[in-house]
Structure 1
Amino acid sequence: MRSVYIEELGQHVGSEVLIQGWLYNKRSSGKVRFVLVRDGTGLVQGVVTPTADPAAFALADSLPQEASLRMGGTVRAEPRAPGGFEVTVTHLEPVHIPTAPFPIGLKEHGPGFLMDHRHLWIRSRRQTPILRLRDAVLWAIRSFFHERRFVATEAPVLVGTAVEGTTTLFPLDYFGTPAYLSQSGQLYLEATCAALGKVYWIGPVFRAEKSKTRRHLTEFWMAEAEQAFLDHEGNLALQEDLVRYVVESVVAERPRDLDELERDSSLLRREVAEPFARVTYHEAVALVQAAGVAMEVGDDFGAPAEDALSQHFGRPVFVERFPAAIKPFYMKRDPGRPDLALCADLIAPEGYGEIIGGSQRVDREEELLAQLREAGLPEEPYRWYLDLRRWGAVPHSGFGLGVERTVQWIAGIPHIREAIPFPRTLDRLYP
C-alpha cells in the first residue's frame, strides 16, 4: 500500500492506500465500526467490518482516543463523510496505545482547562484548521514580498534600545548590561533597508502591556517591512496590496479549513475587493463620537472605538495622520501640519481591530535629534540609529503587520489566543 496524506485522498479514489495518524473518534452501527482518523492534514472515516478484516474489527472496538495507528484500505468518495471520502479498511495496526484516557474529551471544556492543556488542545478538530490557516498566512506574506523583490532579513530579539517607549519593555540582564526583549525590528530594518533597498522580516516581538483583551498577547509575531525612497502614500498602497494578496491567497489555498471553521470566504473576498477606506485621525474621532463611544482628540483608539469604525466602513480602513504627540519619535511630521505624523493604522473589518501600524520615517538628523529630545529619550543609545541619517539619508517608510490578528480576522475566531500555537498572555506562561 502507498502511504498518503488525508488531504490527498481525492487523487486515490478506488486505490488502496495507507493512512498514518491518530484516532480522533469512533462509533458503532450494528456490525460496522467507524473510526475517524486524523493525520494533521485532515480527517477521514474508516469503515471496518468483520468480513474485511476480523482482527481490525476487534481492534476498532478497543482503541482509545488519540491512539496512533496505521490504517490501510480502499478509498471511495462519500459526500456525507468528513472531507468527502472514506476508507474501506482492510488493515488496522496500532503504533501506540495510550495508557490513560485522553484529558480532552469530545465535550465542552472551559477556556482555562483548555489553555492548561494547550499542548493537547491543538490536536482538536477546530484548532488544526486555524494553525493551517496561520501557515498559509505566513507563506502568503513571504510570497508577496518575494514577488516584490524585497529581501528577507532578520532583526535581533535582544536589544539595548526601545522602539516605542520603555514602559512596555521586558527588561533582562545581559552579562551585566541592561537589555530588553524587542518590541519591534523596525529600527534595524531601517539599517538593512539602507543596504538592500527593500527588506522585510517575520519574527517574534514582545510587549509588556498589562492587557487582558481578546486582541492582546505579550509575545506575538510581526511581519515588518521597510523600503527606501518610499513616502507615506506609497506606504499605504504597499500595505493595501499586501493585505489583499494575503486574504485572496489564503481563501484560494485553504477553502476546506475555512469551511471547517464555518468562515464565510465570500465575505472575506468582498471585504478586500474594493479600495480600502481612508480617514484622518480627526475624522475618525468624530465618527467614533457619533457612534456613541467616549473618545477625545488626543486619545488613542481602544477596542470600542476600533469596533465603531469597523462597523461604519465594513471593510479595512486606514486611519492616518495621528497627533504626533501620541506617536513614537521616529515618525516624520506632516510638512503642512507639523503637529501631525505621517502615519496610519489599518483597522480590520468585523471588529478584529488594528492589524497594521506604519509610517514614513524621519530622514534628517536634525529632525530626529529634535524629536528624540521632545520625547525625553537619551541620544547615546540611538547613536547608531542617528548614523543612518548622517550617511546617505533618503525618504523611507515601513510598517508592521500583526500575524495573529490577521489570522484571527481571516479565520473568524473570537480570541487571539487561538491564533498562535502556544499563546503568552498576562497570566499565561504554561505550557
Structure 2
Amino acid sequence: MKTTIVQTPVYKDQTVTIGAWLSNKRSSGKIAFLQLRDGTGFIQGVVVKNDVSEETFQLAKNMTQESSMYITGKIVEDTRSPFGFEMQVSDIELIHQASDYPITPKEHGTEFLMDHRHLWLRSKKQHAVMKIRNEIIRSTYQFFNDNGYVKIDPPILTGSSAEGTTELFHTKYFDEEAYLSQSGQLYMEAAAMAFGKVFSFGPTFRAEKSKTRRHLIEFWMIEPEIAFVNHEESLEIQEQYVSFVVQSVLDNCKLELDVLERDTTKLEKIKAPFPRISYDEAVDLLKEKGFDDIEWGEDFGAPHETAIAESFDKPVFITNYPAEIKAFYMKPVPGRPEVVLCADMIAPEGYGEIIGGSQRIDDLELMEERYEQHGLTGPAYKWYLELRKFGSVPHSGFGLGLERTVAWLSGVDHVRETIPFPRLLNRLYP
C-alpha cells in the first residue's frame, strides 16, 4: 500500500510504502534511525539489522542527507514521537543519493539560509510555518465563502495608485505609465457595487526601502469590501474573521505549533470582541508609557504599536486616525472632519498592524474635493469617481497582511520566514 506520512495513522499495524527524503539519521550499532519527510509530514523510520537484508541495512547506514527513496515498513504507535507513530522498516529502494547537501544539522547564518531558501524550505520549522500559512489561507476561503462573499481578482498591473505613487513600482505598459499594485482595494469597491460582498487574495508590491522585520517588498493581502456596511459593522466582521482563523490554526496545526514551540495559551485568548481605543486615546496612552515626543497628528511606528499592544492580550483596534495621515478615500467622522472612520488592528506580542480598514467616502462632492486636494487628475481615476455617481451606497472594507499574520500565529520573529521566497530590499534570489 503506497501512502503518505500524514496518512500513516490510518494504517496502524499495517505495512505501507512511502516516497520520502532523508532529512537526518543516526545509528547505534545494529539499529539505524532515519528521519524521513515526504512533504506532508515527518516520521522516524527504524531499521533493525536483524530484521532486514544486509543490503538494506548498509543502505540505511550509508544514505546521505536529502537522498530520496521508496521506503517500506510497518506503521506502529510510538508515544515518544511528536507525530505519535513510527515506521519499522523492512525495505528501502534508493531513488537518488544526494551529495554535499549544504544545509546540515549545524547552525547556519541567516544570509546563508536565505541564499539557500529553495532548500531551507525542507527543514522542519520552515515546513511548519508554511503549513500554518496554508491553514490561514484555507480558513480564509472558508470564512468568506461560508458568509456569502464572492472572490474577485483585481489586476496586478494598474494605471493608478490606491494610496499615492511614492512607494510604487513603475513600469511601462506599452506607451503608458503603469504600476505594480499596492492594493486591490479600489477595484474591490467596484466589485462590491456589483456583488455586494467580495474579497480578493493576491500579491501586492511596495517599493518601500525598509529593512524591518515586519516589511516585505512583495506580500499577499486578503481584501474584503462590503456594500451597505458601516465602519462599526466592518470592525465586527474583522474580529470575527481573525478569531475564526486563529481557532482554525489551533484546531488543525497542533503539530506545527508544537514544532515551533509556540505558546498557544496566548492564541487561545483570541476571541471576539476585541478592544477598541481611539487615536486620541492611543496618543495619551503612549505619553503615559514614556513616549513624550509623540504629537497628535503623527503616524505610529513599530515601537508605538508594540507599546500600545502591551496593554492588551487580544488584538486591539486603534480607530479614527487624523485624515492627514490616511488615504484620500476614507470617510470623515461626522462632526469631526479632521479624523476619519478607520481602524488599524494591532496584533499582540509585538507583531504590529495586521489589518487596516475604513469606511469609504460615498459622497460624490466630497470625493471630488479629495481628488482636488490629492491631485488625482487624468483618466486613470475617472472610473473610481463614477462609483459615486451611479448608485453610491455606504460601504467599508479592509486588508489583512498575510505574512504578518503568519508571523504572529507561528511566533517567528521575521516575516522573511513566512513567505516561500521572500523579496527584500536587497534580495531577489532565489
Both structures adopt the same fold (TM-score exceeding 0.5): yes
User: What is residue 358 of structure 2 aligned with on the other side?
Assistant: 359
Map residues 296-375 of structure 1 onto 2, 5 A cutoff.
296-375=295-374
Asked whether the 8 Å contact 1:320–1:345 carries over to 2, the reply is: yes
User: What is residue 115 of structure 2 aligned with on the other side?
Assistant: 116
| Bigger mean CA offset, 254-263 vs 286-295 | 286-295
User: What is residue 157 of structure 2 aligned with on the other side?
Assistant: 158
Q: Which amino acid aligns with 2:200?
A: W
Offset of 1:243 from its aligned partner?
A: 0.3
User: What is residue 291 of structure 1 aligned with on the other side?
Assistant: 289
User: For 1:92 and 1:51, how far apart are their aligned partners in 2?
Assistant: 15
Offset of 1:42 from its aligned partner?
A: 1.5
User: For 2:405 and 2:335, how far apart are their aligned partners in 1?
Assistant: 33
User: What is residue 206 of structure 2 aligned with on the other side?
Assistant: 207
User: For 1:120 and 1:95, how far apart are their aligned partners in 2?
Assistant: 18
Asked whether the 8 Å contact 2:240–2:272 carries over to 1, the reply is: no
User: What is residue 395 of structure 2 aligned with on the other side?
Assistant: 396
User: For 1:49 and 1:258, how far apart are their aligned partners in 2?
Assistant: 32
User: What is residue 169 of structure 2 aligned with on the other side?
Assistant: 170
Map residues 228-267 of structure 1 onto 2, 5 A cutoff.
228-267=227-266
User: For 2:234 and 2:207, how far apart are their aligned partners in 1?
Assistant: 28
Q: Which amino acid aligns with 2:93?
A: E
Asked whether the 8 Å contact 1:44–1:82 carries over to 2, the reply is: no
Q: Deviations over 1:139-173 (max 9, x none)?
A: 11110000110001100000010111111000001
Q: Deviations over 1:93-132 (max 9, x none)?
A: 111112x310000011111000000000000011000000
Pair 1:421 & 2:415 matched: no
SS in 1 for 2:83: helix
User: What is residue 219 of structure 1 aligned with on the other side?
Assistant: 218
Offset of 1:317 from its aligned partner?
A: 0.3
Displaced runs of 4+ in structure 1, greater than 3 A?
none
Offset of 1:396 from its aligned partner?
A: 0.4
Offset of 1:329 from its aligned partner?
A: 0.5
Pair 1:17 & 2:16 matched: yes
User: What is residue 47 of structure 1 aligned with on the other side?
Assistant: 46
Q: Deviations over 1:298-346 (max 9, x none)?
A: 1111100010011111210000000001111011111121111100000
Q: Which amino acid aligns with 1:374?
A: Q
User: For 1:195 and 1:333, how far apart are their aligned partners in 2?
Assistant: 25
User: For 2:357 and 2:285, how far apart are their aligned partners in 1?
Assistant: 22
User: What is residue 61 of structure 1 aligned with on the other side?
Assistant: 61
Asked whether the 8 Å contact 1:140–1:245 carries over to 2, the reply is: yes
Asked whether the 8 Å contact 2:243–2:272 carries over to 1, the reply is: no
Give the alignment's TM-score, normalised by structure 2.
Answer: 0.98
Q: Which amino acid aligns with 1:381?
A: A
SS in 1 for 2:36: strand
User: For 2:90 and 2:422, how far apart are their aligned partners in 1?
Assistant: 41
| Cα RMSD after superposing both structures | 1.0
User: For 2:31 and 2:185, how far apart are their aligned partners in 1?
Assistant: 59
User: For 2:277 and 2:354, how far apart are their aligned partners in 1?
Assistant: 16
Aligned pair count reads 428
Q: Deviations over 1:184-235 (max 9, x none)?
A: 0000000111110100010000011111000000100000000100000111
SS in 1 for 2:191: helix
Offset of 1:371 from its aligned partner?
A: 1.0
Q: Which amino acid aligns with 1:262?
A: E
Q: Deviations over 1:260-311 (max 9, x none)?
A: 11112222011x1352110001111111122123422111111000100111
Offset of 1:351 from its aligned partner?
A: 0.4
| Bigger mean CA offset, 81-90 vs 243-252 | 81-90
Give the alignment's TM-score, normalised by structure 1.
Answer: 0.98
User: For 2:112 and 2:382, how far apart are their aligned partners in 1?
Assistant: 48
| Bigger mean CA offset, 4-13 vs 200-209 | 4-13
> Could you say if the C-alpha distance between residues 303 and 319 of structure 1 is closer, same or farther in structure 2, counting changes exceeding 3 Å?
same
Task: Work out the percentage of aligned pairs sharing the same amino acid.
Answer: 51
Offset of 1:15 from its aligned partner?
A: 0.6
| Bigger mean CA offset, 311-320 vs 379-388 | 379-388
SS in 2 for 1:273: coil
Map residues 128-167 of structure 1 onto 2, 5 A cutoff.
128-167=127-166
User: For 1:69 and 1:9, how far apart are their aligned partners in 2?
Assistant: 17
Pair 1:189 & 2:193 matched: no
SS in 2 for 1:312: coil
Offset of 1:62 from its aligned partner?
A: 1.3
Asked whether the 8 Å contact 1:255–1:265 carries over to 2, the reply is: no
